[in-house]
Amino acid sequence: MDAFNTKRAALIAVEDMDVRPSRSEAEAAVRTLLAWAGDDPTREGLLDTPKRVTKAFGEWFAGYDGDPADILSRTFEEVSGYDDIVMLRNIEVQSHCEHHMAPFIGVAHVAYLPTGRVVGLSKIARVVEMYSKRLQTQENLTAQIAKAIMDELEPRGVAVMVTAEHQCMSTRGVHHGGVDTVTTRFDGEFKDSEELRMRFLRLAERTKS
């Protein structure tokens, strides 16, 4: 199939996905993959695997049902004039790469400069979790977190760093484990000020004792 027809087939497939497949259809797809891998989906050890896999997918990809506007909607203005960096370090990231659906696991460091109002600290972690629980690239994940905070909180600036190990690199392909991928995104005053960027990076480098 040439490139044009491949693209056309992909577009048709997307159009056919207007209605989300049912759980039974998803389980049937898992059985097909098990058979393609060379195993017998009807043997005892695999009989319940399709149900387990679809349940796991429901957890791993729950972020598609989230909305950052809802998560970040409640803010607090009683901050006694505080206008310096608010930062959360070492927010756990558990995501899956969109190219191979293999996990990538690491941490995110997120900071913003408030403009008279702040959001509950757990809400920042929830935004990270929401975007992590989707098929992702690390670059896109980093940018989405920063954009959501900029759009919803309208701070003076946002800084995000994500560090993660990708199992699509460690368990397949080049088979190199222990390799960290680092991505950053700076918006607002963090983008304009080298001093602020350096402060953020120094804080991000400090690990838990």
Residues forming the active site = 97-100, 138, 166, 168
Q: How many helices (H) and strands (E) does the chain have?
A: 9, 7
List beta partners, residue 136. 97
Q: Which of 182, 188, 164 is nearest to 85 (CA)?
A: 188
Q: Alpha-carbon distance 118 to 77, whole Å? A: 7
Residue 44 CA neighbour count, 13 Å, CB half: 0
Q: Alpha-carbon distance 89 to 92, whole Å? A: 9
